[in-house]
């Protein structure tokens, strides 16, 4: 990816479909609404970093793979949130981050006994050496990461594992041959 593709302005405004915070669903269950930033992080072999989560309280849950990232704090840009989350979750301090390339609204899932409903902004990033550090002890989400791994596009495409977002293979392919191609337009998913 060229410098213009990596550092170009996003032109995106991060507005959620719902105000962040907690609310009660009609059945009394707590629903956490939030805005999230995630990163499609490439290494020098054009592989993408994914984390694995499995709810150990649910013995039949096969778990799933997902992009690194997490909740955005008020006033935080997607890039700032990703930078903070990478530092907290895998000890990466200096990944090169580009622009928002994908947006997903209304993502709903269970985690730690609560229902989350979130809007996600995905940015593209690069961490050439591929080495990961230690998590910060105060990051509750990092504690729930059961594993992490770098995936090639071929491995993503061939996998029978659950991988989120569902269209990750399409998003990665839209970037061309990994981060060495220019991203000209954001890819928007629903």
Q: Where are the domains of the chain?
A: 3-188
pLDDT in tens, 127-155: 988 888 776 655 555 556 678 899 999 99
**Considering the entire predicted model, what is its pTM?**
0.76
pLDDT in tens, 167-185: 899 999 988 644 444 333 3
The DSSP bridge pattern shows strands 30-42 and 69-71 to be antiparallel
Enumerate residues 6+ apart whose C-beta is below 8 A from 178. 42, 46, 153, 172
Residue 53 pLDDT > 70: yes
Distance (Å, rounded) from C-alpha 28 to C-alpha 7?
A: 44
Give the residue from 187, 169, 189 showing the smallest Cα distance to 178.
169
Compute the average pLDDT of residues 5-31: 51
CATH numeric code, 3-188: 3.90.79.10
């Amino acid at each position: 990816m060229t410098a213009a593709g990596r550092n170009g302005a996003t032109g995106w405004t991060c507005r959620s479909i719902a105000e962040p915070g907690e609310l009660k669903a009609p059945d009394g269950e707590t629903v956490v609404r939030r805005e999230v930033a995630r990163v499609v992080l490439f290494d020098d072999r054009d592989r993408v970093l994914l984390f694995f989560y499995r709810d150990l309280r649910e013995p039949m849950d096969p778990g799933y793979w997902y992009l690194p990232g997490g909740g955005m704090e008020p006033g935080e840009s997607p890039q700032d949130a990703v930078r903070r989350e990478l530092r907290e979750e895998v000890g990466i301090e200096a990944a090169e981050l580009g622009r928002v390339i994908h947006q997903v609204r209304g993502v709903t899932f269970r985690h730690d006994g609560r229902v989350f409903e979130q809007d996600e902004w995905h940015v593209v990033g690069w961490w050439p050496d591929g080495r990961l550090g230690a998590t910060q002890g105060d990051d509750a989400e990092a504690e729930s990461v059961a594993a992490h791994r770098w995936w090639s596009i071929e491995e993503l495409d061939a996998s029978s594992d659950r991988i989120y977002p569902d269209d990750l293979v399409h998003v990665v392919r839209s970037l061309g041959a990994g981060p060495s191609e220019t991203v000209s337009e954001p890819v928007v998913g629903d």
